[in-house]
Amino acid sequence: MTAATRTVTPNTNVLFSRALRNSEQVIIPVNDSARSVDLELPAFYCVHSLSGTTGDFLDLAQRLESTVRFHGIQAPPKQMENATFGATIQSIADYYTDALVKFQPNGPFMLGGYCVGAVIALAIAKNLRASGREVGPLIVIDGVPENTGAVLGRWTPRYLLELVRNLSRWTIHSDLMRSRSFQSLKWSISNNAYAIRRGVLGLKRGEKLGGGYSAEGIMDVSRYPPAQKSFINRLFASLFTYAPKEYSGDVVVYEAKVTPLLYVPQIGRRWSEFAPQSKIVPIIGTHISMMHEPYVDALALDLRQRIAEFSSINPK
């Protein structure tokens, strides 16, 4: 997740959660191609965002219809009730790795993740590679581990220049400018004031005064049932204890070019620090809007090409 990013989860995520509340299914089809029996099409597996559900992927999966079998990796609603599920990035990645191997016992994997899902996908990819499985370029959609250290200082000339550049993009492409609603205006003002206050106190994003971390400051969790709220906060806290080691595989990082007013895009820079084979692809839009019209088209076009390229080199 990006610093001080508001992860607004579409209502589809809530519907997914309610419909599957007693489900233990991890891998679910997101487009019609994934539901078909046409195994000639390449498969892509994408790990959920902080909500644990896969509604974020609907627009992207639709645009890959008939060319890619798009499977979402979700946190099983039944498992969300388990107080230890999602407590560490590695443990949830181990759980998903087992599910993936059972779902696809043979052949190479094309794997990715959005938001915190990108970090989980990294740990899954390491698991698969360690067991001898072929893994294509890891697809990172605007997410990064917290403990990389590869960030620009807030008062460096380069950071200040990036702030100015982001301001011009923000005035055109921010979620506030697109929706022009009272609710988005209220959030924008409170979110930036919140970020300033925490910065003055020397707190990290999501860090609580009394210690620990909470997702409530960066997203609205009021719409979720209690078990899911607890899962979201566990998973969010686990980001701050996960320390990535060097990853030698190929990585494609789709980075939102528009960030909140007080922050600059640094996701690509941080991935390059521990994954030297990273290729950074800027996508116009915010962390939220890059997954929806009109910005998702650019993401889908590039991703389709990456998957086709890998599939032609590594047929099943």
Q: Quote the CA–CA distance of 199 and 222 in Å, as a whole number.
A: 25
Per the listing, tokens 């899911």 go with 228
pLDDT at 3: 37
Query: pTM to 2 decimals?
Result: 0.81
Q: Quote the CA–CA distance of 64 and 55 in Å, as a whole number.
A: 15
Sites in the chain below the pLDDT cut of 50: 1-19, 173, 176-177, 180, 200-201, 203, 264
pLDDT at 8: 37
Which secondary structure element, helix H or strand E, spans residue 253, and what is its range? strand 251-256
Give the N- to C-terminal CA distance of the chain in Å, as an integer: 33
pLDDT at 18: 43
The answer to whether 16 touches 55, Cβ cutoff 8 Å, is yes
CA 104 vs CA 16, 28, 126, 300: distances in Å? 23, 13, 17, 24
The answer to whether 281 touches 253, Cβ cutoff 8 Å, is yes
Q: Quote the CA–CA distance of 246 and 115 in Å, as a whole number.
A: 20
Closest to 121 measured CA to CA, from 107, 146, 104, 140: 140
SS3 70: strand
Q: Quote the CA–CA distance of 39 and 56 in Å, as a whole number.
A: 24
pLDDT at 190: 60
